[in-house]
Amino acid sequence: MKRRTLDILFSIGGLAIAALLLVAGIVLSANASFANNYVHDQLAAQHITFKTADTLTDEEKKAACLVEYAGQPMTTGKQAECYANEFIGLHLKSIAGGQTYADLGTPQTQLKNQLTEAQKATPVDQAKVDDLTKQLADVTAQRETVFKGETLRGLLLTSYGFSEFGTKAGQAALVAYGAAALMFLLALAGFAHAFTTPKTAGFAVVEAKPEKESVK
């Protein structure tokens, strides 16, 4: 095969790969833009604002991101992660000794059963009934508060995760653009080499060995 022909074929292939990488980069950029805009719009619609620096408690000030975002509206995935883990997560630990919604289900059920038995007892110990009623109300209120906090925290972390997909897509797009540019330059170099190579030049041509002179 002629060297020029081979260079042209490889260069055309390089252009095709560059075009595919460019398309991939455009698609990834579009996905990144969609993810970032979607997260921004959804978070902004919640009107959540970080506490100002002067209102942060000593515990809250230990979280660097709460200090960094103090007083700012929540509009990014990173802010959502900070608010979910460092603010909501911190305050959830102070409710019911850090027990979760599922953990509080057991004491709530036990108190319901104890209250039912106390109400059925003869004679009814009203003081005990009142005490169990108060305990049940406290546990129920704690469980409802924890449920709301865990739900909001989960939603915010989901937004953060979605935004990370957008970030990764943006990074992948940059890699695709860089690879496309490299392939394009290599293809141009291939064409340049092809048209500076003599038409008659071959590729990996095996030179014929000279015949040995016969012995007379």
pLDDT in tens, 88-119: 999 998 888 889 999 999 999 999 999 999 99
Mean pLDDT confidence for 127-140? 94
Among residues of the chain, what percentage have pLDDT more than 90? 74
Mean pLDDT confidence for 130-157? 95
pTM listed for this prediction = 0.76
Among residues of the chain, what percentage have pLDDT more than 70? 89
Mean pLDDT confidence for 3-24? 87
Q: Of the segments 61-70, 182-191, 194-203, which one has the largest average pLDDT value?
A: 61-70
Segments in the chain forming alpha helices (H): 3-44, 58-61, 64-68, 77-82, 89-93, 105-120, 126-194
Whole-angstrom distance, CA of residue 7 vs CA of residue 189: 9
pLDDT at 210 over 80: no
pLDDT of residue 8: 82
pLDDT at 27 over 60: yes
Mean pLDDT confidence for 151-170? 94
Whole-angstrom distance, CA of residue 90 vs CA of residue 153: 11
| Higher per-residue confidence, 180 vs 195 | 180
Question: 74-95 burial, b for 16+ CB within 10 Å, e for fewer?
Answer: bbbbbbbbbbbbbbbeeebeeb
Whole-angstrom distance, CA of residue 197 vs CA of residue 124: 107
Measured from the Cβ of residue 41, the count of other Cβ atoms closer than 10 Å reads 10
pLDDT of residue 197: 66
| Higher per-residue confidence, 134 vs 216 | 134
Distances, alpha carbon 50 to alpha carbons 46, 53, 83, 134, 158, in Å = 12, 9, 8, 34, 19
Mean pLDDT confidence for 14-22? 94
Mean pLDDT confidence for 178-201? 82
Task: List the one residue out of 104, 109, 132 whose CA is nearest residue 120.
Answer: 132
Q: What is the average pLDDT value for the chain, to the nearest integer?
A: 89
pLDDT of residue 199: 61
| Higher per-residue confidence, 199 vs 127 | 127
